[in-house]
Amino acid sequence: MENKSNAFLAGVFTIGLAMLVLFALFWFSSDHAVRVPYDLITRSTVTGLGPQADVKYRGLDVGKVVSIKFDPQVPGQIIVRVSVNKDTPITRTTYATLGFQGVTGIAYVQLDDTAREEGNGQRSPPLTTSEREPARIAMRPGFFEELEKRGDSLLTQTETLMTSLNEMFQTTNRDALMSAIGAVHKTAGDYSRLSASLQPAATKLPQAVDNLNATLGSTRRLTDELASPNGTVMRTVNRVGGNLQGASDSVQAAAGILSEETLPQLNGLARDARQTARTIDRAAGQFTERPNSVLFGGPAPAPGPGEAGFSAP
């Protein structure tokens, strides 16, 4: 009897332990977060998105996709019901996009806010939702959908680019391009030869620079010598100026002597010479009129008034 009771207790303990383990597994595996529903509205494709897909807000997991169905009131419109954590800052400017995880193609819902993109610092009011009337959030086209929409334009532009490249590399343009490349190569060769011819001049350039520096040094010293009042040049100029001043004084003294002594004597000599010339002139006149006056002398002068023999004219 005792063995049966022990077996019964062991069985009850085992069943209770198994139930406790199952309850713990269920408790830890279930999500106990408080979530609220939102409806994402879109007319785009939702390829790769399914129930239980992740819902992220700026990269953080905030919920799951509950269901995906067509809108019975608007043809072609899709309603994606999501369940999001209650503390997620969903506002009136929040929008949704479709993202893809890596290269697996598994899609998820990415939530973001227009106010953060604009950076105006203004906070939009929260978006109110409930189980009876879930709030609706607009779902914008994702990156791949935009790429798909613009695929035709990109293909057209690519085709135009390839056509332009084909026209660029036609025979005529190719020959012109090769000629340009040849001209560039020739220019590079000419530049190399020019560099080689300039090498000797470049070798002598340091010596020329040294000579120029020496010349500039000599010019600077000469300038300093000219600017210095006690320099050799200025002393020589002063000495020459003194000599010129002495010569000028001598010339002025000689001019004074010439003016005071020599010129009066020359004037007296000139007067004597004029008198002698007049005397000679008179003698010559008398000789011309009376040549015999040389032998017999000149005639007696006519008597003047009051003298004997004077007769009035």
Q: What is the chain's pLDDT, residue by residue, as a tens digit (313 residues)?
A: 556 666 767 777 788 877 877 777 766 665 567 889 999 999 888 888 889 889 999 888 899 999 999 988 989 899 999 999 988 888 988 999 888 877 667 889 999 888 665 555 567 788 888 888 899 999 888 766 666 667 677 778 888 888 877 777 677 777 777 888 888 888 888 878 877 777 777 777 788 888 888 888 888 877 777 677 666 766 776 777 777 777 777 777 777 776 777 767 777 777 777 777 777 777 676 667 666 655 555 566 666 666 666 666 6
DSSP 39-75: EEEESS--TT--TT-EEEETTEEEEEEEEEEE-SSST
The whole-model pTM stands at 0.42
- The domain segmentation of the chain, as residue ranges, is 31-144
Contacts of 141 (CB under 8 A, 6+ apart): 44, 97, 98, 149
CA neighbours closer than 13 Å in the CB half-sphere of residue 120: 8
